[in-house]
């Protein structure tokens, strides 16, 4: 494998796709950490802690490279919604967010050479329309909820439920791309490479 401009400390295919789309060359190396929320931990504190821990774990193996870690969660009425373990849990999560406004928070942490570092949290508000029972049944049966915080993907079938987004759209997908690019530039890190061959 050739030199990578970023070591991505995440297994998320959505984060990988967003970064690759603007020309970053990636080495994917997920961090293996406990992602259980601590008692009394807010959604923002939770994702900030996890992103920093993931970046630290992977950066120890790549001290001369740029490492990016991130974590995303959905919060509604004070409750943190992670990834559903099964269809019943997915349905329960979806029933809590349809017809309401919820918050999607993504924290990202960057570590680079010469102790370069940044930690940020970006929050987006998503308002969903009320959803009929048969729509909810079909969505859960289709299985798109698997591996998604809050049991949905805004870039997938659930886009039909979204009435309004206030804030970064890519944040809801899993990575606030504009903010990440800005931080990397400010730190003197790698930049996007816009070419004709960049994946669409």
| Residues in the chain, total | 200
Taking alpha carbons only, the member of 154, 124, 126, 123 closest to residue 139 is: 154
Q: Which of 34, 71, 134, 182 is catalytic?
A: 71
C-alpha of 175 from chain center? 4
115 is catalytic: no
Q: How far apart, in whole angstroms, are the C-alpha atoms of residue 184 and residue 191? A: 7
Residue 12 DSSP label: -
Residue 65 CA to residue 61 CA, distance in Å, equals: 9
Dist CA 33 CA 192 (whole Å): 29
| Tally of CB atoms within 10 A around 58 | 25
Please work out, in degrees rounded to the nearest 5, the angle formed at the alpha carbon of residue 146 by the alpha carbons of 30 and 127.
105
Distance CA 103, CA 126 (A): 6
- Which positions are annotated as active-site residues? 71
């Amino acid at each position: 494998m050739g030199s990578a401009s970023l070591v991505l400390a995440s297994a998320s295919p959505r984060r990988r796709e967003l970064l690759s789309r603007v020309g970053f060359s990636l080495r994917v190396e997920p961090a293996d950490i406990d992602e259980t929320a601590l008692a009394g931990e807010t959604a923002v504190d939770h994702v900030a802690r996890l992103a920093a821990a993931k970046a630290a774990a992977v950066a120890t193996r790549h001290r001369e490279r740029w490492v990016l870690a991130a974590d995303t969660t959905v919060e509604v009425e004070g409750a943190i919604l992670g990834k559903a373990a099964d269809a019943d849990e997915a349905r329960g999560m979806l029933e809590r967010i349809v017809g309401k406004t919820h918050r999607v928070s993504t924290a990202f942490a960057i570590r680079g050479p010469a102790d370069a570092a940044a930690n940020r949290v970006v929050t987006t508000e998503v308002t969903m329309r009320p959803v009929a029972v048969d729509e909810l049944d079909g969505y859960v049966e289709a299985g798109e909820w698997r591996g998604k915080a809050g049991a949905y993907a805004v870039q997938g079938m659930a886009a039909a439920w979204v009435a309004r987004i206030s804030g970064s759209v890519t944040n809801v997908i899993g990575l606030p791309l504009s903010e990440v690019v800005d931080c990397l530039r400010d730190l003197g890190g790698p930049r996007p490479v816009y070419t004709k061959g960049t994946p669409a």
